[in-house]
Amino acid sequence: MTGSISTSPLVDIRDLSKSFGQGDARVDALRQINLQVYAGQVVGLLGPSGSGKSTLLNVIGCILDPSSGHMELDGQVVYDGGWRQKDLRRLRLDRIGFIFQFHNLLPFLNALENVAVVLEIAGASAEAARQRALELLQYLQVGHRCETMPSRLSGGEAQRVAIARALANHPRIILADEPTAALDSERAGVVMDLLRKVAAEQGAAVLVVTHDEKIFDRFDQMFYLRDGMLADMDGPHTKPNGLAQQH
Ligand code: ADP
Ligand code: MG
Instruction: List, for residues 203-237, the tens digit of each pLDDT value.
Output: 999 999 998 888 888 899 999 999 999 987 764 44
Atom of ligand 1 nearest to the CA of 57: 6
What domains appear along the chain, each with residue ranges and CATH number?
A: 11-19+28-106+155-163+171-235 (3.40.50.300)
Atom of ligand 1 nearest to the CA of 47: 3
What's CA 53's distance to the chain center, in Å?
A: 11
CA dihedral 213, 28, 55, 72 (to 10 degrees): -110
What's CA 51's distance to the chain center, in Å?
A: 17
- pLDDT, one tens digit per residue, over 144-190 is 999 999 999 998 899 899 999 999 988 999 999 988 887 788 888 88
Separation of 56 CA from ligand 1 center, angstroms? 10
Angle at 35 between CA 29 and CA 40, to 5 degrees: 130
Percentage of residues of the chain with pLDDT beyond 70: 92
> 75 Cβ partners below 8 Å, 6+ apart?
8, 10
Average pLDDT over residues 111-132: 95
